[in-house]
Amino acid sequence: MKTLALISALAPRRVPNLLGGKTLDQWIDTALTQALGPVTRFWLERANSPLSWLPEGVRHTVPSETAGLERTVEKLAEGYDEILWFEADEPLIRPDLINRLLDLHREYRAEYTFADGYPRGLAPEVLHPRIIPTLRRFAEKKQAEKSTETTLRSPWFDLISQDINAFDIETDLSPVDLRAERISFRADSFRQMIFLERWLDKAQGPLLPLLEELRDSPLKRRTLPATLQIQIATGVLQLPVWSPLQLFHPEALRSREFLDDELFQKWVSSALAWAGDLTLMPSFWGEPSLHPRVKELFLEALSHNDLRLVVETSGLGWRDEDLADLAQVARGRLDWIVELDSQNPETYRHLRGEGFDEAQAFTQKALKGFPGHVWPQTVRMKETEEETEGFYRYWKDQAGQAIILKYNSFGGRIPERKPADLSPWKRLPCWHLQRDLAVFRDGTVVPCRDAWRQNLVLGNLHTDTWEAIWGAGGRLLQEHAQENYPEVCRNCDEYYTFFF
């Protein structure tokens, strides 16, 4: 069999190229050689980010045209029997999984073979070259219809999923199912480099002990926060029936206290200097559009290249000129989650009060200014259950995506409205303790929105460092791992939900 190995370096590299004294490409080259011996390999690069340290003969530039990646692969794969696909920032790819997938692919004469249930970054994908022209046509159609951005990651599974029954697919299932743990061995952030260094020796040993330890070690998996919520305004323009604000902040409709610009700048810049990159959500228990300088705060946030901004909003109170100015600088790093809850004006009024027309108009404006980065959202509850599918289908067509948010009773502190229990059969250590921090306007830091009474305080930014605050969260995670839950966590079922 004539095998072609393609290593994609299309995603921007934001971290050092060294791991354990070797460059990332040296790790991949070593794994390939151990698995297959001499094999033809090409590195795929972007024109504006060449892999200048590699020889010219093993590099191919992917054009930024429609389906440029698929066209490049189609041309390179001529005369080969199988394609091994790697990502250049996944250095700990395993030789045993390379061979296992190739054997499976060959035995069943598959067209696409992948590993499922393993952490991302331990196994490649395998493709038969004959399916690439079909996938290229899928990509051309998809990009023409939706004006989607050129992919920087492997597109193969998403493209195959458009007509999955048309392809012969084989799957290697992990002996330890780690899908729920969302573990990645990708070197794409500072926190991921910490993770890789921490697991480097274990990842080069036997597979099964590695997978079992990954499953059983939430504290060892925890590195740095990925999501930071900040309260920039204490007030709101609506009090939805699903919101606990009516319970712990009933004056929220009248409250108009705002975070100082300098404090916002200080907290964001210091968090980034410590964590390396973050998703910032400036909607923590408040409507961001109320802040008189919301545009300036967002522009300050977006001036940091390693920050992604995700704004949860009712869609009320926004100025058109602010949206236009933000659209000019967002460059794909500003996402909007619009809390619509219903496409039926009467249901909307029952759930949220007045504002249906304004919220709908805002969503349409946001779709024009931020295509592909708007997420209309409904909370799944008894009052909306019959409308949920229609809501999803409508906004999936309009926006390309929609969020069906799980109802949160905040541990039974507000009435239960969820139509179904989606929680896992066995409780997991809380995701928010592993990934998130949330800051009130007064500097108090808690791990999540459920600590809205500030009864799970990790520290205060006026007196404590980020490191100390994060360390307090680690001790709380250890309690969770031992199934010892503080009162605010005991009846909470948000532990399995996951932010960006």
- Over the stretch 25-52, which tens digit does the pLDDT of each residue have? 999 999 999 999 999 999 999 888 888 8
Find the mean pLDDT for residues 260-287: 98
Q: Which is higher by pLDDT, 468 or 49?
A: 468
Q: What is the pLDDT of residue 53?
A: 82
DSSP 459: E
Tell the CATH topology of 3-189.
Answer: Spore Coat Polysaccharide Biosynthesis Protein SpsA; Chain A (3.90.550)
Enumerate the domain spans of the chain. Answer: 3-189, 227-489
* For helices 345-352 and 356-369, angle between their N-to-C axes, nearest 10 degrees: 100
What is the pLDDT of the chain when averaged over all its residues? Answer: 94
Name the band, by pLDDT with cuts 50, 70 and 90, for residue 14. confident
The rounded distance, in Å, linking the Cα atoms of 210 and 203 is: 6
Residues 6+ apart with CB under 8 A from 161: none
The rounded distance, in Å, linking the Cα atoms of 157 and 112 is: 9
Tokens found for residue 199: 């697991």
Tokens found for residue 124: 């490649």
Amino acid at 121: G
Q: What are phi and psi of 48, to 5 degrees?
A: -90, 5
Q: Is the dihedral of CA 400, 286, 304, 364 positive or negative?
A: positive
CATH class belonging to 227-489: alpha beta
Which of 353, 408, 433, 341 is CA-nearest to residue 378?
A: 341
Q: What is the pLDDT of residue 371?
A: 95
Find the mean pLDDT for residues 148-155: 68
Asked if the model's pLDDT at residue 144 lies above 80, the reply is: no
325-362: pLDDT as tens digits = 999 999 999 999 999 999 999 999 999 999 999 999 99
Q: What is the pLDDT of residue 150?
A: 55
- Whether the CB-CB separation of 87 and 153 falls below 8 Å is answered with yes
The rounded distance, in Å, linking the Cα atoms of 11 and 51 is: 12
Tokens found for residue 27: 């790790």
3-189 and 227-489 share one fold: no
Q: What is the pLDDT of residue 149?
A: 53
Instruction: Spell out the alpha helix ranges (H) of 108-244.
Output: 132-146, 156-160, 190-203, 207-216, 218-221
Q: What are phi and psi of 465, to 5 degrees?
A: -85, 160
Give strand pairing partners of 337: 312, 375
Longest dimension (CA), the chain: 71
- Whether the CB-CB separation of 471 and 459 falls below 8 Å is answered with no
212-234: pLDDT as tens digits = 999 999 999 999 999 999 999 99
Is residue 488 within a helix (H) or strand (E), and if so which, with residue range?
helix 487-490
Asked if the model's pLDDT at residue 92 lies above 80, the reply is: yes
In this structure, the chain runs to a length of 500
Name the band, by pLDDT with cuts 50, 70 and 90, for residue 1. confident
Q: Is the dihedral of CA 11, 16, 17, 21 positive or negative?
A: negative
DSSP 279: E
Q: What is the pLDDT of residue 17?
A: 82
Find the mean pLDDT for residues 275-283: 97
Percentage of the chain with pLDDT > 70?
99
In order, the DSSP letters of 341-373 are: --SSHHHHHHHH-S-HHHHHHHHHHHHHHSTT-
CA angle (186, 191, 195) in 5-degree steps: 65
Find the mean pLDDT for residues 265-279: 97
